[in-house]
Amino acid sequence: MAGSRQARRLGAVSSELKPLLHRVYTNVLATPVDLYALRGSLAAFLEYLCERGRTNAKCWAVDMFFCLSEGWERDWAEQAVPQDFHDVLALMGEALHDTVKKPRIAENFDCLPEQLLERVRRLQPNPHT
């Protein structure tokens, strides 16, 4: 799984975050993508970032993970996911890193964990429902 020099410089990223991100990674790269599983894994790790996982290092690590796709087998942005799922994944690589030290910036870009979690909860895995 992807590692980031920036995240390492910001402090230890807990072992609790790695399996949560790995679930998202696995779900995004699955062929075909199980949108229910992807929505569930996104919600689980965002709930973690909303609560006990809300640290500068963890938010930076997640941001870099999605922004750079460093270490991914295939770029997540090239996967066959509906646009609303793609939009959430893209937002996680924009201003999530500002969550702890500059929350107004993250909020302005709809990148606070709570804002992202709300978007994830509204995702419709089956567009016909």
Is 41 in contact with 67 (CB distance < 8 Å)? no
Question: What pTM was computed for the model?
Answer: 0.83
pLDDT for 6: 46
CB 15 within 8 A of CB 53: no
- Going residue by residue through the chain (129 aa), what tens digit of pLDDT does each one get? 444 454 444 445 678 888 998 899 999 999 899 999 999 999 999 999 999 999 999 999 888 888 886 666 666 777 788 999 999 999 998 999 999 999 999 999 999 999 999 999 999 987 654
- Domain edges within the chain: 5-122
Q: Which two tokens stand for residue 56?
A: 């500068």
